Structure formats: structure tokens, C-alpha cells
Amino acid sequence: MDFSLTTEQRQIREMVAEFADEEIQPRAAEIDETDEFPWDLVEQMAELGLMGMPIPVEYGGAGLDYHSYAMALAEISRGSGGLGTVVAAHISLACNMIYEFGNETQKEEYLVPLAEGREVGAFALSEAGAGSDVPSMETVATRDGDEYVIDGSKLWISNGSVAQTVVVFAKTAPEAGGRGISSFIVRPGEDEGFIVEGTEHKLGDKGCPTAELRFDGLRVPKTRRLGEENQGLIQALKTLNGGRITIAARGVGIAQAALDEALAYAQEREQFDQPISEFQAIQHKLADMDTKVQAARLLMHLAADKKMRGEQFIKEAAQAKLYASEVSREVANEGIQIHGGYGYTKDFPAERFYRDAKLNEIYEGTSEILRNTIADQLYD
């Protein structure tokens, strides 16, 4: 097994790492404080080709392999966890839905501006009563001639209040439960009846708005349905499976940031006439933190490799997301501990890493659901 990076992969990682160091990190505390969507950074990432990384060039993307995409997203997340979610939701969910299930006309009209970064995308699946239990969603899309009329609401939608294109899931055959869900391309700026009820005031993940959406008689032409009717649940599960690789990448990036900060602090902070990095207790913490980060990174690449090879990767994606999510929280927690009292203040970024890391264990499949998924794959 070859663990070495190609020249192109190494150059991409270095380029994004430099961008994260010079442009994202200096803004991270401000983004966390204001919770404002960083349009200027998104525009800069678009210029660098980072808003459509794995999407083929013919559809406006950069045509990168999934290893490169995962590494780049880890670097972006190392700079800002919120910006990592912005990119992951935009590419892995919104863009990939249209790329995988859209027809050529839909790709040309809606995917290209997303992949080029001229527009931002969102993925509206979850509802107040339908998070992990997707089939219990209540949003409906009723056929009316050449249109669908969508009524209902969505919750926890990343980028939901700023997106120009939103992939919305609704029941077209309510009596069929999960087998009666379809997906649609919705354009908030064009479609009357698209209402942003508000955004959540969250523990972390600042800079990426998490919106509550409502659809009140929203009319969508049938030409904006993705794929066949009643295939939405299958589409969503396939898309989320790939998305878990990028949430693993977000976890790796945040964990790396927490480790880097803790290591630097430990070498600078002195107690008892020596840097605290000289104490074995701190050395062991740092050693464990680094080992966990490297293991999470390898699981991320294993899942990416299987996806690229066209092999089954449900278990690997779930394991990568599960482990990286928990590692990001654990490493961030130890980072606070190494900082001591300072780690509990906003004078240092250690506490931000912890707040950003916690979300990894919740969205795109909770840790509990992922353990069910892994067990199911073991039984097959």
C-alpha cells in the first residue's frame, strides 16, 4: 500500500494550507465572534478553485480526486471549523446531489455556478421531527400539472439562509413513507414561498448559518426534480455517505489545529522554572493527541480511496466520520487541559476548537446512528 502523495496532491495541500494560514486563521476569531457569513473568503476560495474541488472541470469544478479534496477541506477546517462546514455542505451535499442525480440541463444551469463558486448551495433534508428518522418528514410536494407545490419546513440547514440553490427533499407519495420522497432544485431568489424563518444561535460552527426554512405553496417546475420521483431517500443516503468523508476531514482539521496550538503553548508556558512540555504528563497528552489525529487521517483516506475506486465504502465512511468526530472532541478537550485556566477563556483559540469539534458528532449522522451503520455492515 502506497501512502505517498503525488506531486499534484502535495501541491494542493500546500496551497490550501498556505491559504488557511494567511487568510483564514487571522479571521477565525472574528468570524467566531460575529457569526457573519465570510463572503470575502468564499470569493477567494472560488478564485482558487476550492468551491468545486471534486466536481469535473466540464461542470465548473477543479476535477480533484477525493484524497485531495479531503486534505484541502481538512486544511480549511484547521483554519475555521465554520468555514469547513460551509464548504462541505456546499460541495459534498448540494453540488454532489446535482452532479450525481441531475440531467445535463440541470448540471449546466445549476451545478456550474455552484462549482465555480459564483453561488452557494445548501441541502435541505432535516426537519424538527425528522433528523435521523428521515422517512418521518412531513414536507410534501404535490403535483399540479407541470409543477410541484411544496409545503412544509426544514431545520438545521447549513448555508440555508445564504444559498442561491437549495436541494429540497419532500414527500411526493406520503403514503409510501421513505419510499415516497423526491428531491428538487429550489431557487430562493426566484421561487415565491421560500421563507427563511431564522438562524440558530449555536455553540460553535460560527460563520456558517444554520437556518430554519419554510415553504408556503412554493411552486417548482417538474424540470427541477432530480432524477425519478420517489427516489429521494436513496439519493440522500448515497450523498450523505460520501459527505461523511468530508466531515471526517473537518474533524481531522480541527483536531490538528487543537494539537498545533497545544504543542506551541506547552513549549512556551513555563512552570517550576521549565516549559511545561518538559513534564512527562504533558508529553503523554501530546503523544496521544498526535496518534489519534494520525489514525483519524488514515481512516479518512481509506474511505476516500474506496470511493475513488468505485468500491463499497459505507462502513469505511461511517468509521472515518465516527472516529474523527470523537477524536476532534477528545483532542480539543486535552488542548484546553494543557492550556489550564487560559484554555477556558477566549484569549486563546483552544475553547473554540472544542466548541467547533462537538458538532462533528451530531450532523450528517450522529455517532449513535453511525455505530448502527457499522454494525449492520458487519452483519452483512
Cell of 227: 432524477
Which neighbouring-strand residues pair with 271? Answer: 274
Measured N-to-C along each axis, helices 66-79 and 81-88 cross at an angle, to the nearest 10 degrees, of 150
Q: Which of 14, 200, 364, 368 is catalytic?
A: 364
192-218 as b/e: b if 16+ CB within 10 A: ebbebeebeebebbbbbbbbbbbbeeb
- Please check whether residue 341 is in contact with residue 351, taking contact to mean a CB–CB distance below 8 angstroms: no
Within 8 A by CB and 6+ apart from 35, the residues are 201, 206, 207, 209
As a 3-state breakdown, the chain gives helix, strand, coil percent values, each rounded to 5, of 60, 15, 25
Name residue 185's beta-bridge partners.
167
Q: Are 297 and 328 in contact (CB under 8 A)?
A: no
Asked if 291 and 267 touch (Cβ cutoff 8 Å), the reply is no
The three three-digit cell numbers of residue 276, written as one number? 511545561
Sign of the CA dihedral with 241 first, then 243, 249, and 251 last: negative
Residue 50 · residue 76 · CB < 8 Å: yes
Residue identified by cell 445564504 is 162
Q: List, as one string, the DSSP characters of 195-253.
A: EEEEE---SS-TTS-EEEEEEEEEEEEGGGEESSTT-HHHHHHHHHHHHHHHHHHHHHH
Q: What does the alpha-carbon distance between residue 119 and residue 111 come to, in Å, rounded to a whole number?
A: 9
Asked about 270 being catalytic, the answer comes back as: no
The catalytic site residues sit at: 364
